[in-house]
Amino acid sequence: MSPIETAETAPEPASKIELPAHIGGGGEIPTFDITLRVRRYNPEVSEDFVWEDYELTMYGTDRVLDALHKIKWEHDGSLSFRRSCAHGVCGSDAMRINGRNRLACKTLLKDLDTKKPITVEAIKGLPVEKDLIVDMEPFFQSYREIMPFLINKGHEPTKERLQSAEERARFDDTTKCILCAACTSSCPVFWTDGQYFGPAAIVNAHRFIFDSRDDAGDMRLEILNDKEGVWRCRTTFNCTEACPRGIQVTQAISEVKQAILSRQV
């Protein structure tokens, strides 16, 4: 790694600087009108899925989640969706927005084509419970099956296990996963075969397989060598495009495939 400036080595910043002119200025945040087209479903009322349109006035920094809240809080309280942190780290609000899996809290309305209705529907491949809420149990079941925890057979040191910065960097990308299911539910193989482990489970296996502290890589590779394992992947890259955390999902899957073939981690 090339040396980089740290707080210790960087020069002390100036006590006073000239700010760029535009920092003091800026105008009003623009408002705009949108149509949100939501695929509704409530089996207590009807077994049918229904598209409903909502006309809303929104602001420049608003996200799809803000539009959903506006519907729920001002128009129709029965609209149901999961959300929590509202800034892309808890993984609650993965949904299909204009046909693509995204987090509603991380998708700014102004980045979508607001001239046309914006469609919002539940992620695919998992049973819909109500509106945008799906049953996440099958997803977490696959996750649990790859043994998503560190297994170390050596003696436990009194202090920390040593790991070099390079070894740590080897699996950094896959530690970012927030288990939102955007990848798995964007995968055409998963849509047709619910038994397939799916990208998220493989990403989380990758996180341990390539962790220098872990001793159970072989067991995980054996699990993923199953007929419902990594070989079902058809490398369509949907998962990588869907990942709101920017994880190179397809690459992680191919690294697991390589590891199975070479059995060298």
Instruction: Please report, as residue ranges, which positions from 108 to 167 form the binding site for other proteins (by CB under 8 A).
Output: 108, 129-131, 133, 136, 140, 144, 147-150, 152, 156, 159-165, 167
- How far apart, in whole angstroms, are the C-alpha atoms of residue 5 and residue 46? 61
Residue 108 burial (10 A CB sphere; 0-12, 13-18, 19+)? middle
Q: Is 175 in the site for other proteins (CB under 8 A)?
A: yes
- How far apart, in whole angstroms, are the C-alpha atoms of residue 60 and residue 123? 26
Q: How far are the Cα atoms of 94, 146, 165, 211, 247 from residue 172, in angstroms, in the given order?
A: 22, 18, 10, 9, 10
Looking only at residues 81 through 110 of this chain, which bind other proteins when binding is defined by CB under 8 A? 81-92, 106, 108
Q: How far are the Cα atoms of 60, 65, 86, 108, 128 from residue 103, in angstroms, in the given order?
A: 18, 8, 9, 10, 17
Type of residue at 95? M
Does an H or E element contain 254, and which?
A: helix 249-262
Return the number of the residue (31 or 163) whose C-beta is nearest other proteins. Answer: 163
Q: Is 47 in the site for other proteins (CB under 8 A)?
A: no
Of 11, 30, 99, 154, the one binding other proteins by CB under 8 A: 11
Return the number of the residue (97 or 233) whose C-beta is nearest other proteins. Answer: 97
Residue 204: name the closest of 235, 171, 233 by CA. 171
Q: Is 21 in the site for other proteins (CB under 8 A)?
A: no
Of 37, 39, 100, 176, the one binding other proteins by CB under 8 A: 176
Give the interface segment with other proteins, choosing from 47-55, 177-185, 220-228, 230-238 (CB under 8 A). Answer: 177-185
Contact 101, 93 (CB under 8 A): no
Return the number of the residue (40 or 232) whose C-beta is nearest other proteins. Answer: 40
Residue 192 burial (10 A CB sphere; 0-12, 13-18, 19+)? exposed
Give the interface segment with other proteins, choosing from 14-22, 32-40, 216-224, 249-257 (CB under 8 A). Answer: 14-22
Looking only at residues 211 through 230 of this chain, which bind other proteins when binding is defined by CB under 8 A? 211, 213-214
Q: Is 30 in the site for other proteins (CB under 8 A)?
A: no
Return the number of the residue (141 or 192) whose C-beta is nearest other proteins. Answer: 141
Phi/psi of residue 55, nearest 5 degrees: -95, 125
Query: For residue 167, what are its two tokens?
Result: 């070894």
Of 52, 53, 57, 168, the one binding other proteins by CB under 8 A: 168
Build a one-symbol-per-residue string for 232-261: x at contacts with other proteins by CB under 8 A, - elsewhere: ------------------------------
CB of 164 to other proteins, least distance (A): 5
Return the number of the residue (99 or 154) whose C-beta is nearest other proteins. Answer: 154
